[in-house]
A = this chain, B = another copy of it.
Amino acid sequence: MSNTKVLPLLDAGDAVAACCPPLTERPFTAEEAETAARMFKALGDPVRLRLFSAVASHEGGEACVCDISDVGVSQPTVSHHLKKLKEAGLLSSERRGTWVYYRVEPSVLAAMGKLLTITPAAA
Residue positions of A touching B, CB distance < 8 A: 23-30, 33-34, 36-38, 40-50, 52-54, 56-57, 59, 61, 68, 71-72, 104, 106, 109-110, 112-113, 116-119, 121-123
Contacts and interface: CB of A to CB of B under 8 A. Distances in A.
Identical subunits present: 2
28 contacts: A23-B56, A23-B109, A24-B53, A24-B56, A24-B57, A24-B61, A24-B104, A24-B109, A27-B50, A27-B71, A28-B49, A29-B50, A30-B72, A33-B46, A33-B50, A34-B46, A37-B43, A37-B44, A37-B48, A41-B45, A104-B122, A106-B123, A109-B118, A110-B116, A110-B118, A112-B116, A113-B113, A113-B117
A78 to B, nearest CB: 13
A40 B50 contact: no
B109 A56 contact: no
B41 A28 contact: no
A46 to B, nearest CB: 4
Contacts of A26: 53, 57
Contacts of A72: 30
